[in-house]
Structure formats: structure tokens, C-alpha cells
Structure 1
Amino acid sequence: MSAIRRTLLSCLIASTLSAAACAAEPLKAAFVYIGPTGDHGWTYSHDQGRKALEADGKVQTTFVENVPETADSERVFRDLAQKGYKVIFGTSFGYMNQMQKVARAFPNTVFMHATGYKTAANLGIYDARTYEGAYLLGVVAGKMSKSGKLGVVGSIPIPEVVRNINAFTLGARSVNPAATTRVVWVNSWFDPGKEREAALSLLSQGADVLMQNTDSPAVVQAAKEKGAMAFGWDSDMSKFGGDAQLAASVLNWGVLYKATANELQTGKWKPAGKWWGVKEGAVDITAFSPKVPADVKTLALARRDALKTGALHPFSGPLKDQAGKEVLASGKRYSDAELGKMNFYLQGVLGEVPK
């Protein structure tokens, strides 16, 4: 048994505690957020997952919000470990190196890093297949766009975001082969002002349906203001966009957090990552606008069900890059490892991925 498992299960064998008392002792879990819990996007969805975890009564939680992806985050992770939290969730890609460093100093604390790829004996990874939600939104966008010109407000050009842009475009072109996607990057996860400016820029270039990979509702608000259409991202943003929000790709982090807590409490935790999506209930499409015709909603839900059963994989060949060169043959699918390194646009996405 590893040192971590021995530590996590130590109260079960300690002579001073009964098994019943140990079972009643809650697991202490801490969450570190890149943005505010009220962003109504990424951080909001993680915090809803934290609340779902705590609601079971077996886990005691705390959180720290607005922690930048800088050396300062190392101080936050270290402080939480010193306070005795047994598992610390870092919910943004840019925390990876800092978490790796702090994990070495606290071998009896488990660290879980969202969307990253580095692991250690006490450093695990987890993610949601956000590209599945992006693909489903693309299907709706392809059906609803009058111009065939789509726009995406991009955050930071890492594989996760590039993958979502490609998936959105694949979904749209599956129902409208002529559809194209233009991207404006804001180089931030949460900056409502820049997100709004990017949305307005895309609309001025002829896009009539917008998706975002940013965290605030500024994009759906801009779409509503200009009579265009958009989507909720990570959560339902219809209270900001009204019926201009065609649908929302929502994340349910609670299923991942509950599973991780259970593994820790039963000594079954391993650092190998979970990458959960529609199949596991971590990703869904919901909150359809009254503007969306019944047949379009039915199609989107049918595609969702196909993702759930595995009958559909968005990144299935044949696929071509922007130059028209085949990058994936018919009958093939990109592996998770290949998806994790995606740094190029597929056919239908305009412009270049920033270096």
C-alpha cells in the first residue's frame, strides 16, 4: 500500500479511534479557482460541483477564488496543505507547474489538477470532455445560422481550446458543409470587457451565431443586444442572453468530485486521470431557446445520445486541415493522447492558431 493510501486510511487502524468514528470524520477538500464564483461560467460550474460534493455530508470543503496562474498560486496551494486539507483541487490549466512543485513538498496530501497532463504519486489529473458540448452547440449553430458564418471568442490558445473550436466547427459542418468559423482571442479566461469587444468584432465581420471558450456571460449579452445568437458555455446563461441563447453546454463537475472523494475515502484513489463527458453525465446540452425549432432540438439530443453510447465521436475521419490535406483517414478516430496535443485548426476554421 502506498504512503498516501496509508495516510488516508490511517484513522481506520488508529487505536484511539473506532471505525464508526472514523467513518463519521469528513474528508477535508479545498478548491482553488481562477475566477470568481459568480462568473456564471467555468468557476461557477466548479463551485456548483463543490457544493454538490459537500451536500452529501461526508466532505468538508473550502475554496479560494480569483487566484492567478502565477507563482502566487503556489503560496495558496502550500497554505491549504499546511492547514490540513487532504485533497486540493486546482481548477485551471495554468496551475500545473505550481501544483507539481507543492505536491513534492506535501507527499501526504493529494493534489488534483484540472485539464493538465503532469502526474505524480500524489498529483492526479481530471477533465471534462468540453469538446463534446462544443460539437453539439455546433450542430445547433449550423442549423440556425443564416449566413453560415460562425464566431468563437477564444480564451488562451492551448490544445483544450483549439480542440473545442474544431469540435464546434465539425458539428456545424456536419449539417452545413459550407459553414465557417472565425476566432477572436482575448488571452484571458475571464475578462468581460475583452469578451464583449471580441463578440462585437465577430458580429461586425458577419458572424450571426457565437460560441465562447471564456467564462463570463458577456458574449451572450452582446449577441442579445445586436439581435444575434449565442450559446451558454459551462452553464446556462439564459438569464443574461434571453432567447438569444440558443442552448447551453453545461458541466457537472459534481460527478467527478464525488467519485474522487469516494476513491480517497476507500483507499482506491490513483493519479491516473478521469476525462469524463456526456457518457458519465459530466457534459450536457440544455436550456434550448424557444427560437430553436423542434426538429433542430431533436437532432441535437439525438447526437448527444449517440455520444453517450459511443456511436458518435466528433473527431472521426476523414478529417482535413485548413489546406485541405487529410489528417485523419476514414474509419479512424483521434486518440485521447492526440486530442490532448491538438494545436492546429481543421478545415472550416479561418485564420491561424496564435504562436
Structure 2
Amino acid sequence: MAMGPFRNVSRRRFTALGSALLAGALAWGSLAPVASAADPLKVGFVYVGPVGDFGWSHQHDEGRKALEAAFGDKVKTAYVEDVPEGADAERVINQFAQQGFDLVFTTSFGFMNPTLKVAKRYPNIKFEHATGYKRADNVATYAARFYEGRAIIGTMAGMMTKSNVLGYIASVPIPEVVQGINAFTLAARKVNPKVQVKVVWVNSWYDPGKEREAAEALIAQGADVLSQHTDSPAPVQAAEEKGIYAFGQASDMAKFGPHAQLTSIVDNWGDYYIARVKAAMDGSWKAIDTWDGLKQGMVHMAPYGAAVPDAVKAKADEVKAGIIAGTLHPFTGPIKNQAGELVVKDGETIPDGQLLTMNWFVEGVQGQLPK
């Protein structure tokens, strides 16, 4: 069941209420009874976007709902949406700790340092940070191998483009986003060496206005297939209006572009959240790092759109099956960098450690990586 004063607090409300909200939360916490073995596990979630973004935060909230469905009254959950990465994040995470939550999931890369700061102050509370790389005795990390899904959609884009220009709307220049651009480009050029991928950065995870502007700019430059690593359906809607193709992000966005969407990379957090809450309940929880993908079900693919030809479906299925079987890795050489220099030899694969720090583009990507 959902609980507490946190549930629907957005960034705008958080900013407006300020110290009043903090005082109210503390007052509520001071009246709470002392925990007993029969008390439900209190689980908090911090979202960088609104739960209605139909992307990243929406899918994490679907995971929270799956948690409630799995455990019933054995858990109580709460969330704060639309939290900026920075000082506000630390205040929200700290409020969860002060309220006596047992387990707190912080779901954006920029929440990493705020999570660690609060965790240090509350060593008896368990924290989990999505997409981060810093851990502590009471801080675990988790992420999905989204690049696996981008290898599938890159393959499809390379086969379906007529202009040989693919557009990519990118959020912020962290390794996860760079991995996605590179995996998409490598896969597209593997089936169509003429492909070029144009990248536009919006410097935000969720900004429908900027995402639409980026989509329209890419379409004006000749892109006839769009991909995105941003959270709103605005690019899919723009593609639908312009009569081109697109891929959804994080959730199935077909309803926003029934003719445009070819498929979507769907994030599945529910199974992970259920497993980690079970571990917290039975005492087996540890501060581990998890990086799962298609094989483990953390990454799913939405149904193919009506516009996808059978040959493209078959090739996409082949790529997916190879990744799951371990016979195909999206980052197996030969791979050249943006300057055309061989950086990964034929048959070699970029190891996880290098993928997690990736800060360079492969051949075929147009545009610069922001500093």
C-alpha cells in the first residue's frame, strides 16, 4: 500500500512547501509507533521526472506498483516525483531516512552523491541507487544493459531507413547514454554501412519541448528514423506527425505514434524491486551491483509496429536471440572510433569496465560529445 505525506510530492510542490513540508514530515515521523517484527517494510522511491512522463520515472513507478501487488500489506511504499539532481535530492532522501524508511531507491544518475551522503548518516537504512557506480556498506547499485536493446533497434533502423540518416535525441553525456548511441550506430552500420547517426543533446532527462525541437531539427536534416534517450513521448509524436519512424524509450509509446513506433525498449524494474525487498525482509540483502539485460528480463522489447517488414522482424529477433544466448555482443570488434581509427580488434569485445566509463563515439556518429 502507498503511504505517508511523500506519495505525490512533485518538485514544484516540494519547492513551494519547503520547510513546512519538512516540518510536517518530521512531525508525522515523531508520532509513528516503534517498529516491530510485524510492521510492514517501508520502501521509498525518489524519481527525477514525473510519474506521468511515460518513460523512465513512469516505469520505475510501475515497478513500485508491482512491489505492492507482490507483497500486499507486508510493505508500505511512498515516492517523491520530479526531484532535481542536487541539493533538493539530498533533502528528499534525508526526509525518507528521518521518517524511518527501511529501504530507499533513488532512481537517477545525479542522485548518486546525495544518496551516499545520506546513507553515511543513516547506516542502518538500506539504499539502492540506479545507474550509479559508487557503493557503501548500505548502498547497492543497479542498472539495466539498455545498450542491448539499442543494438536491436539500431539493426531495425539500418534496414528501414531510406535516407541513410538516423536521428538520436540524447539527454546528458554520461557513459550509459554514450553506450546507447554507439550500440545503436554499430548495429545500424553492420546491416547498412552507409548509415550516419546525427545526435542532438537536450541536456535534460525530461523536457518535452526541447525533445520535440530536437526531433524536428533532426527530421529537417534528413533523418527518417528517430531514436531517443529522453523520457517523454514528444519525439514519437513528432515522428507520427511527419510520417517517419521512431522508437519509444523506457515504456511502450505506441499509443503516441501508432504508425511511427517500430518498437520500444521497455524497462522492467518490478522483478528487481521484488527480489531486493524480499532480500531486505529475509536478511539476505547485501550492497551488491546489478547490471542485467535481455536475458534476465530487465530489458524488454515492445511488440513490433505494423510498419515493420517480416525480414526486419526476423533480423531483430536474431540479434535479440544472439544477445540472450551470449553468442552476440553489441560491442565486439572490429570497431573504429569517430576518427576512423581501429580501437577494438576483430573478435575482441569491450569489457564492462570500459563500457561503464565510455566517453567516445564510434565511426558513423555525427556530432560532438559535450564536455
The answer, yes or no, to whether TM exceeds 0.5 is yes
Q: 1:65 aligns with which of 70, 76, 81?
A: 81
Whole-angstrom distance in 2 between the partners of 1:251 and 1:85:
25
RMSD of aligned alpha carbons: 1.4
1:29 aligns with 2:61: no
Q: Tell me the equivalent position of 2:65.
A: 51
Q: C-alpha deviations, 1:149-171, integer Å up to 9, x for none?
A: 10100000111101100011112
Which moved further from structure 2: 213-222 or 316-325? 316-325
Q: Tell me the equivalent position of 1:242.
A: 258
Whole-angstrom distance in 2 between the partners of 1:37 and 1:204:
31
Q: Tell me the equivalent position of 2:276.
A: 260
Whole-angstrom distance in 2 between the partners of 1:143 and 1:263:
44
Whole-angstrom distance in 1 between the partners of 2:259 and 2:66:
28
Secondary structure of the structure 2 residue equivalent to 1:342: coil
Is contact 1:243-1:290 (8 Å) kept?
yes
Is contact 2:155-2:316 (8 Å) kept?
yes
Whole-angstrom distance in 2 between the partners of 1:300 and 1:147:
20
Q: Tell me the equivalent position of 1:330.
A: 346
Q: Tell me the equivalent position of 2:336.
A: 320
**Offset, 1:172:** 0.8
Q: Tell me the equivalent position of 1:150.
A: 166
Q: 1:285 aligns with which of 301, 326, 338?
A: 301
Q: Tell me the equivalent position of 1:164.
A: 180
1:203 aligns with 2:254: no
Q: Tell me the equivalent position of 2:52.
A: 38
Q: Tell me the equivalent position of 1:133.
A: 149
Q: Tell me the equivalent position of 2:26.
A: none
Is contact 1:238-1:287 (8 Å) kept?
no
Counterpart of 1:264 in structure 2: which amino acid?
A: A
Secondary structure of the structure 2 residue equivalent to 1:108: coil
**Offset, 1:25:** 4.1
Q: Tell me the equivalent position of 2:243.
A: 227
Whole-angstrom distance in 2 between the partners of 1:264 and 1:320:
44
Counterpart of 2:301 in structure 1: which amino acid?
A: I
Q: Tell me the equivalent position of 1:100.
A: 116
Runs of 4+ in 1 over 4 A off after TM superposition: none
**Offset, 1:220:** 0.3
State TM-score, norm by structure 2: 0.88
Is contact 2:59-2:251 (8 Å) kept?
yes
**Offset, 1:60:** 2.0
Whole-angstrom distance in 2 between the partners of 1:25 and 1:277:
34
Q: Tell me the equivalent position of 1:4.
A: none
Structure 1 unaligned blocks of 5 or more:
1-15
Q: C-alpha deviations, 1:47-92, integer Å up to 9, x for none?
A: 1111111111243211110100020111100100111111100000
Counterpart of 1:66 in structure 2: which amino acid?
A: D
Q: C-alpha deviations, 1:276-297, integer Å up to 9, x for none?
A: 1001001022221110011211
Q: Tell me the equivalent position of 1:217.
A: 233
State TM-score, norm by structure 1: 0.92
What does 1:109-120 correspond to in 2, within 5 Å? Answer: 109-120=125-136
